[in-house]
Amino acid sequence: MPPDPGFEIHVNNLGDWRVSEDRLAEACRGALFSEGQRLGEVSITLLDDDGIRSMNQEYFRKKGPTDVIAFPLHGPGEPVLGDIYLGFEQARRQASELGIPLEEELPRLIIHGVLHLLGYQHPDGEERLGSEMFHRQEELLKDFLSSFPG
């Protein structure tokens, strides 16, 4: 990827979690670039369970915390503009349940959010694991982890 492909990535850590904001921004930047984007602005906000639960209820009428919510704010043919909200505590639980490092789960969720910003969708439940979006997410994550390890 070129040194500055024209993305502005803003990371807002609303908790006292120790995370590499650069790593999260790089996961976002890499996914955008790999998907053919060259310009854009994305805001990433890390929320606690209460914050992401409230958004999940308000916007999707779903109860409980979720891992990632994305809102595309751009129109067709316009540079990417969007917000990604990451449920940090949910991400930490998922990483623990899957037996993987949080440093792998966080970029996975950022990439997932980017794909939603770009119009990808997936079915709910276990069927999502066979979706085009899930396969693309895992390809992008593999590329990211090999170029931006640990």
Domain extents in the chain: 7-147
Which CATH number fits the domain 7-147, given the four candidates 3.40.190.10, 3.90.1300.10, 3.40.390.30, 3.20.20.70? 3.40.390.30
pLDDT tens by residue, the chain, 150 residues: 444 568 999 999 999 899 999 999 999 999 999 999 999 999 999 999 999 999 999 999 999 999 999 999 999 999 999 999 999 999 999 999 999 999 999 999 999 999 999 999 887 777 777 788 999 999 999 999 998 776
What is the SS3 assignment for 148? coil
